[in-house]
Amino acid sequence: MASATKETGEGIETTTMAASPTDDTPRSGVFHKLSNSASSTEALRFWRSKKDSSQEFSLQERDTISSDERNPDVENGTSTEYRTYKRRWFGLVQLTLMNIMVSWGWLTYAPVVDDSAAYYNVSSSAINWLSTAFFLSFVAIFPVTLWVLSRGFKFGFICAAVLLIVGNWIRYAGSSKSSGGIYACAMVGEIFIGFAQPFVLATPAKYSDLWFTHRGRVAATALASLANPLGAALGQLINPLWVNSSKDVSQMVLYVAIISTACSVTAFFIPSKPPTPVGASSETPKMPLFPSIRTAIRSLELWLVFGTFSVYVGLFNAVSSLLNQILVPYGFTDDQAGIGGAVLIVVGLVTAAITSPILDRTKHFLLAIKIIIPIVAACFIIFIWMPQTRGLAGPYVILAIIGAGCFALVPIAVEFLADLSHPISPEVTSTAAWAGGQFFGAIFVIVSDPLVAGSDADPPKNMKKFLIFQAVLAVAAAPLVLVLGWFGRKDKVILRRLQPRQEET
């Protein structure tokens, strides 16, 4: 792209010329004409003042041929062209793949808990502790994640790739023999995979803010964020097919390690940032890390969304980890429990694929959250009695609704947090929210152990008490987000990234 400036009797003409079409060539050039020197000075002052006050321009202030992807900033007789780049999809696909494999690594053992326990010669509770260690690893490393991501997401991608590869091969090092495995290696490997998770799970909001315009951020965040539970669905479906007895656990761990390595090596080649900003909000200076944290801590609205999101993510994680142990005592097979986990996730993915583009256009984030939360809470109550039916229809239907609600909630809540907290960098709120979800997930899995019924119960080892515990938490957390915007605080729930554009239009 080249710019040509010439002085005429009428004033200054600045033309931005597009180069020959390439992969990243903008759709068209931008032409500005300032009628005379006096009006030129006034115009420049006007544009500067608009940028200083809002960091974004209205649709009327853009050329009619521009979108917010090509928003001109006129200063000193030059023009800056906002545009999106096709290479953004490479990074988004990479982020999606790594989120899939991190989650698959988490649920490697849970779908085949009995065979895994026999292979490592430990109890089922010890296998549950692998999931707990995974959750707590996120919580332990998330302050480091904040620091790394505040300096650019590419280094975070590389850290995630290294940790994911190393963690998987440590697990296989202790599982290479079909006769039995080393539990300590499985635990250390699970911790490494848990360390990798925050670098990719907390990144989608930051990545979409940097590479996508406001018209595509929710969809981009949804694709990368929801890839995480997709990995869990693949683990629930595929791992039981690989394991027919305890000796097959070794090859299952090997297969997951190979796939994880293949999906991670390309992380070293993703671009760190677009050559030019894709829109005005993406180049708005973000607050430094520690001022961001101080500002977020003082916001009641952020705490309310954070609390609800964390509890519901924790409940989802607990159900995913323990679904086999919830259903099997009532006569369900490992395969049927695995299909139930897949229903939970696949229906959720389909729902999110439908709702995310709609909410990208409407921006009714708060309304959607207030509709979804009560529905999911009601389903957790109903699920208390579903395993007792000993039929597939009841549990599968309720799991499908829970999955649909939770999956639709994830990208909405992440983007809503980013909008409420702007100009705080999005990775601050998203990392903290996900860390809260992992922390509660770990607590819920730990609490589940003493809530398991005894061997003399009907049926033995059932988890009805835990299902009641889950339902109580779901109902208790729901009012937190339902009161958002009440008591004269409606101005506290505005979408700050869109506010300047709405005011100007």
CATH number for 92: 1.20.1250.20
Coil, helix or strand at residue 346: helix
Instruction: Give a yes or no: residue 292 inside a domain.
Output: yes
Whether 361 and 241 share a structural domain? yes
pLDDT for res 281: 57
Buried b (16+ CB within 10 A) or exposed e, 273-295: ebebbbbbbbbbebbebeebbee
**Span 223-265, pLDDT tens digits:** 777 788 788 888 888 998 999 888 999 999 999 999 999 999 9
Domain count, the chain: 2
Mode of pairing for the β-strands spanning 11-17 and 2-8: antiparallel
Task: Determine if the pTM surpasses 0.85.
Answer: no
Q: What is the pLDDT of residue 171?
A: 95
Q: Kindly state whether residue 75 falls inside one of the protein's structural domains.
A: no
Q: How many CB atoms lie within 10 A of CB 45?
A: 10
Q: Residues 37, 112: one domain?
A: no
Residues 6+ apart with CB under 8 A from 476: none
- Which residues make Cβ contacts (< 8 Å) with residue 86, sequence separation at least 6? 23, 24
Is residue 193 located within the same domain as residue 282?
yes
- Output the pLDDT for position 165: 95
Within this chain, do residues 412 and 273 fall inside the same structural domain, yes or no? yes
pLDDT at 330: 92
Q: What is the pLDDT along the chain (505 residues), one digit of tens a residue?
A: 444 443 333 333 333 344 434 444 443 333 333 333 343 344 334 334 433 433 333 333 333 333 333 444 444 444 556 666 667 788 888 888 999 999 899 889 988 888 999 999 998 889 989 988 998 898 888 888 888 877 777 888 889 999 999 999 999 999 888 888 899 999 999 999 999 988 887 777 777 777 777 676 777 777 777 788 788 888 888 998 999 888 999 999 999 999 999 999 988 887 777 756 666 555 565 666 677 777 777 777 788 888 898 999 999 989 988 898 899 999 998 889 888 988 988 898 889 888 888 887 777 888 888 899 999 999 999 999 999 998 999 999 999 999 999 888 888 888 788 777 767 777 778 788 888 888 998 899 889 989 998 888 889 989 999 999 999 999 999 988 887 767 666 666 665 555 544 443 4
Asked whether residue 81 is assigned to any structural domain, the reply reads no
- Report the distance separating Cα 107 and Cα 301, nearest Å: 33
Q: Which residues form the domain of 13?
A: 2-70
Q: Do 115 and 245 belong to one domain?
A: yes
Kindly state whether residues 162 and 193 are assigned to the same domain. Answer: yes
Claim to verify: residue 249 and residue 290 sit in the same structural domain: yes
The pLDDT value given to residue 144: 87
Helix (H) or strand (E) holding 32: strand 30-34
Position 260 scores a pLDDT of 94
Query: According to the model, what pLDDT value does residue 100 have?
Result: 93
My answer on whether 129 and 30 are in the same domain is no
In terms of domains, do 325 and 270 share one?
Answer: yes
pLDDT, residue 233, reads 80
What's the pLDDT score for residue 82?
64
In a domain, 383, yes or no: yes
394 lies in the same domain as 435: yes
Taking the CA atoms of residue 276, residue 84, residue 218 and residue 354 in that order, the dihedral angle to the nearest 10 degrees is -170
Asked whether residue 210 falls in the same domain as residue 282, the answer is: yes
